Structure 1
Amino acid sequence: MEIAIINPDTLSAIGLKKLLGEISPEFVIRTFADYGSLADDTPDMYTWYFISSQTYVLYNSFFLPRKEKTVILMHGISFNTPSAGNHILNMFLPEKMMKAELTKFFSDSIPLSMLQDEAELSPREIEVLVLVTKGFINKEIADKLNISLTTVITHRKNITEKLGIKSVSGLTMYAVMNGYVEADRI
């Protein structure tokens, strides 16, 4: 099994490589400081990609189609973090707990325990979400979609409840991670 770790944090990358090697000596693990180094290699040969959240956002066009093979390395995430079918690993877990999570992940081939099931957004909620991520205020969204201000507020409330995300930055991250908007169009 070929694993690529793409993380500019050298110590985190080395530590993760060590943990993965302890889980299975058969893993072939390569570390890359940035996406460019991975691209210079043979990027499609890897079974799994362990990548920093910044790399995921910046190179979403490469990783989104490989979502099932990508594990996003997050710092201090909680159960309310937008998962949307993404594999997420909390890099602040204690060593024993992280090793247990990784062992379970590879043995069961299921998402890491930090994942949650989320409700589907309606097409209109997705439209509202995209406009929110682009910086439009409620009144502008109402005018743009030709709906009432109250309806926009209701859609935003529903989006927040379904996703468990309250901040605009969190909603933006969710939209990018799910391909609703491209990071360079925000």
Structure 2
Amino acid sequence: MKFLPEIAIIDANTLSSIGLQNLIEKMMPEAVVRKFNSFESFVCDTPDMYFHYFISSQILVEHSAFFVERKHKTIVLTYGRITMPHIANFHTLNICLDEEMMIRALLRLQQSAHAGGLHLPPKMRKMMPAANQQNWSEPNGLTSREIEVLVCIVRGMANKEIAEELNISITTVISHRKNIMEKLNIKSVSGLTIYAVMNGYIEADRI
């Protein structure tokens, strides 16, 4: 049976929850994301089965005992760069960021929380490719050269720069870009960025 990580968003702000749900589903299409507008509705749904909790600071204040015991998988949603003593030991996410910055912040959270997959449960860790191996392999059929091109793309390099970096022709770079997008069924650079970081091909702070 395929492992499907489940993520809970607990926040009375429905609009914020919907937006965050859409971003997480875009980044992790294999994940099941559920929204709860109260802690009471959340605890009625087997809370310990969730891989992560995204919670409002108010929920944390009111139910700190529950989340302190589970802080390793709790992310507190904040408005701006406000720092408060009760969230000092938690991962936080500023929900006032624009979409691009929010995606980058989520990617950094994922990477810092799990150390590139080392802290993931065994079933989840098996879903991530070994990006540090010399002979990379990819379930979707990407070759080693295509992965090199992918990393260059998400670093913001132009076709000419990629060609010079990898010592190949611009025509070959364009061909690799087309093949990568077709194999992954991803049509945008932002989508490729999410894929590359989530699968460990590049660190979030390098994009």
TM-score range, shorter chain: 0.5 to 0.7
**Separation (CA, whole Å) in 1 of partners of 2:60 and 2:46:** 18
Residue 6 (str. 1) matches residue 24 (str. 2): no
1:17 maps to 21
2:32 maps to 28
User: Aligned to 1:59, which of 39, 56, 63?
Assistant: 63
Runs of 5+ in structure 1 lacking a partner?
Answer: 112-186
How far off is 1:106 after superposition? Answer: 1.6
How far off is 1:86 after superposition? Answer: 0.8
1:87 maps to 91
Runs of 5+ in structure 2 lacking a partner?
Answer: 116-207
Give structure 1 regions of 4+ aligned residues with deviation exceeding 3 angstroms. 80-83
**Structure 2 matches for 1:1-186, cutoff 5 A?**
1-78=5-82, 81-82=84-85, 83-109=87-113
**Separation (CA, whole Å) in 2 of partners of 1:101 and 1:36:** 29
Relative contact order: is structure 1 or structure 2 higher (C-alpha 8 Å, sep ≥ 6)?
1
Q: Deviations over 1:92-141 (max 9, x none)?
A: 01110001111222234369xxxxxxxxxxxxxxxxxxxxxxxxxxxxxx
Q: What TM-score do you get using the length of structure 1 for normalisation?
A: 0.55
- 2:79–2:94 Cα contact (<8 Å) kept: yes
Q: What TM-score do you get using the length of structure 2 for normalisation?
A: 0.50
Instruction: Note the aligned Cα RMSD (angstroms).
Output: 1.7
How far off is 1:84 after superposition? Answer: 2.9
Q: Deviations over 1:15-48 (max 9, x none)?
A: 0000000111011110000000001111111110
Q: Deviations over 1:138-178 (max 9, x none)?
A: xxxxxxxxxxxxxxxxxxxxxxxxxxxxxxxxxxxxxxxxx
